């Protein structure tokens, strides 16, 4: 019980610290007082424990860790999550500085996912004309499994008798990355580049997972497992439902995180219209039953 209370206090401190670090100009707000993280930090404790048990030299470098050793992988993932921090202004230059972030969060929540602690952005990336520095804001979010695909404004996709349409099973977490509408166009055929670093505070396990395109992930997790006669109609159904909103740049990844308190960082690159855009890390927390 004592450990559980300590974990909740630490998580609250981390959340407030991350949220307070996001600076958005043109919004008149008093500077918040960020509470200090307690000395006993579960993530730091876990890293220290893994450093003592892993096969690496504790540096986290490619030469010091064995990518096939799950302990080293978890240690690298924990360090990636701990090192992620908001480092870029994601304000929309025209009108309401939160308009684009709000729009992206609206899409994310329409998927039924909980947004991460703060948004992210890429520079020299926007397809919209006149945007200073070409900033494209984006958000990330997560939902614990079991999770069935939902469509913003439509709801959950229709279920099929005796067919599992979930893309995240119990003990898994679905992660999503959603750029602000209009900033990403002509999504590249190769939708790799975004990834998730995750770490389960309770099990001390962690790792990295590549994210894929929206329809690609749904096809791989749901449609490809259907009987051949149902695959065509199911694919048409998904395309019809997903065609109602901008999905360029949207990425998904179901990850076998296990049950517990899972910290994650989403970051990486999106290629569109001949540009490769690097998005800064954003961090989130998910309770997986």
Least confident of 42-46, 112-116, 130-134: 42-46
What percent of the chain shows pLDDT beyond 70?
Answer: 58
Query: Pick from 61, 44, 51: which is nearest to 7 by CA?
Result: 44
Per-residue pLDDT at 205: 94
pLDDT digits (tens, 9 = 90+) for 143-192: 999 998 776 655 565 566 666 778 899 999 999 999 987 778 888 778 88
The arithmetic mean of pLDDT across residues 100-121, rounded, is: 87
Please give the biggest Cα pair distance in the chain: 60
The arithmetic mean of pLDDT across residues 112-116, rounded, is: 93
pLDDT class of 32 with cuts at 50, 70, 90: very low
All structural domains of the chain with their residue ranges: 85-288
Question: pLDDT higher for 37 or 155?
Answer: 155
pLDDT class of 42 with cuts at 50, 70, 90: low
Residue 15 has pLDDT above 60, yes or no: no
d(CA 94, CA 91) in angstroms, rounded, equals 9
**Residue-wise DSSP of 12-76:** HHHHHHHHHT---TT---PPP-PPPPPSS-HHHHHHHHHHHHSSS-SS--TTTS-TT-HHHHHHH
Residue 195 has pLDDT above 60, yes or no: yes
CB atoms within 10 A of CB 286: 23
pLDDT digits (tens, 9 = 90+) for 219-241: 777 777 777 877 787 777 767 66
Per-residue pLDDT at 34: 38
pTM over 0.85: no
The angle formed by the CA atoms of residues 274, 84 and 44, to the nearest 5 degrees, is 155
Question: pLDDT higher for 118 or 23?
Answer: 118
The arithmetic mean of pLDDT across residues 123-144, rounded, is: 87
The arithmetic mean of pLDDT across residues 56-65, rounded, is: 42
Least confident of 103-117, 154-168, 175-189, 273-287: 154-168
Distances (CA, A) of 245 to 110, 151, 182, 241, 285: 11, 9, 11, 9, 27
The neighbouring-strand residues paired with 278 are 269
């Amino acid at each position: 019980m004592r450990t559980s209370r300590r974990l909740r206090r630490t998580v609250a401190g981390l959340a407030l610290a991350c949220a307070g670090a996001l600076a958005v100009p043109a919004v008149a707000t008093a500077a918040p007082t960020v509470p200090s993280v307690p000395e006993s930090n579960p993530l730091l404790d876990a890293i220290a424990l893994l450093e003592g048990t892993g096969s690496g030299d504790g540096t986290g470098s490619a030469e010091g860790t064995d990518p096939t050793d799950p302990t080293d992988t978890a240690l690298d993932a924990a360090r990636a999550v701990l090192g992620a921090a908001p480092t870029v202004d994601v304000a929309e230059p025209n009108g309401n500085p939160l308009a684009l972030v709000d729009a992206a969060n609206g899409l994310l929540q329409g998927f039924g996912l909980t947004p991460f602690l703060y948004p992210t952005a890429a520079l020299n990336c926007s397809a919209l004309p006149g945007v200073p520095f070409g900033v494209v804001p984006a958000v990330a979010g997560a939902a614990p499994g079991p999770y069935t695909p939902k469509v913003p404004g439509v709801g959950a996709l229709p279920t099929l008798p005796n067919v599992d349409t979930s893309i995240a099973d119990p003990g898994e977490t679905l992660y999503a990355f959603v750029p602000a509408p209009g900033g990403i166009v002509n999504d590249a055929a190769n939708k790799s580049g975004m990834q998730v670093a995750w770490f389960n505070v309770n099990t001390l396990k962690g790792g990295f997972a590549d994210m894929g395109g929206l329809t690609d992930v749904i096809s791989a997790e749901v449609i490809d497992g259907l009987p051949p006669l149902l695959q065509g109609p199911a694919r048409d159904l998904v395309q019809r439902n997903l065609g109602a909103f901008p999905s360029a740049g949207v990425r998904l990844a179901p990850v076998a995180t296990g049950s517990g308190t899972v910290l994650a960082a989403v970051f990486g690159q999106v290629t569109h219209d001949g540009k490769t855009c690097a998005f800064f890390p954003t961090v989130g927390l998910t309770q997986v039953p």
